[in-house]
């Protein structure tokens, strides 16, 4: 059974940093690209970032480019998101999501971790 | 970025109704359109990918159609567990989502 378990969310002050993790199991993690998708309270879904399965190619939404860094450890079966210079606009539930094959079709999602940026 | 526009933003329907949600892309995306269902407090769940392919064990009352810029999600006979918010998402380029359609009980 595919499982994705996010952790690392919490309350952080504006300008602060946070590192999210997503532990994967039930599939060969190194064979799939992964993404982070977020959802602000009461709002819709926003794709944040993606990383390829092996060569580490990354992409980012303009809203987080230069502040967030996605990475993965294929030995630990874990996806990461380092978030710096956080602002209130980054407050959201952050989901990790597995790609279906080579397309950004998100066939499995974690339960999400809440990041709240507030003083 | 490709903009995705869903309509309506919300709708009220009864159990047994046929429901149709539309999604329009700002440019052609071929068939690279996916649909998700999200219930309150839960992660989204993939229903349909590549415009019309049903994911896994998704019930056959869900169907998708379209290509190019115009797509539809149809629920042939709405069931109580189908009351949720539905999102389209394009996978032609950098992923973008529609704003969502909330399906409520009439």
Residue A22 contacts residue A4 (beta carbons within 8 Å): yes
What number is the average pLDDT over the span B70-76? 98
Verify whether the Cβ–Cβ distance A50 to B95 is below 8 Å: yes
A113 DSSP β-pair partners: A94
Q: How far apart are CA B50 and CA B67, in angstroms?
A: 9
B25-66 pLDDT tens trace? 999 999 999 999 999 999 999 999 999 999 999 999 999 999
A13-71 pLDDT tens trace? 999 999 999 999 999 999 999 999 999 999 999 999 999 998 779 999 999 999 999 99
Residue A119 contacts residue A100 (beta carbons within 8 Å): no
Tell me which chain A residue has its CA closest to the CA of residue B85. A44
pLDDT at A102 > cutoff 90: no
Smallest Cβ–Cβ distance between A104 and the set B42, B91, B99 belongs to: B91
Verify whether the Cβ–Cβ distance B49 to A107 is below 8 Å: yes
A67-97 pLDDT tens trace? 999 999 999 999 999 999 999 999 999 999 9
């Amino acid at each position: 059974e595919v499982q994705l378990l996010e952790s690392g969310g919490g309350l952080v002050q504006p300008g602060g940093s946070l590192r999210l993790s997503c532990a994967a199991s039930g599939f060969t993690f190194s064979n799939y690209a992964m993404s982070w998708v977020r959802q602000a309270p009461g709002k819709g879904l926003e794709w944040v970032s993606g990383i390829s399965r092996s060569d580490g190619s990354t992409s980012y939404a303009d809203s987080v480019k230069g502040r967030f860094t996605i990475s993965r450890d294929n030995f630990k079966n874990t996806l990461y998101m380092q978030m710096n210079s956080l602002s209130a606009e980054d407050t959201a539930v952050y989901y990790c999501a597995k790609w279906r094959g080579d397309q950004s079709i998100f066939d499995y999602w974690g339960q999400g971790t809440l990041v709240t940026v507030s003083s | 970025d490709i903009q995705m526009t869903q309509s309506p933003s919300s709708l009220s329907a009864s159990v047994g109704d046929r429901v149709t949600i539309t999604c329009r892309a700002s440019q052609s995306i071929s068939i690279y359109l996916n649909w998700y269902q999200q219930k309150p407090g839960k992660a989204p769940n993939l229903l349909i990918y590549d415009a019309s392919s049903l994911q896994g064990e998704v019930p056959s009352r869900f169907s998708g159609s379209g290509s190019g810029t115009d797509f539809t999600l149809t629920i042939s006979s709405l069931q109580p567990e189908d009351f949720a918010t539905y999102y389209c998402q394009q996978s032609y380029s950098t992923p973008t989502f529609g704003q969502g359609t909330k399906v409520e009980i009439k």
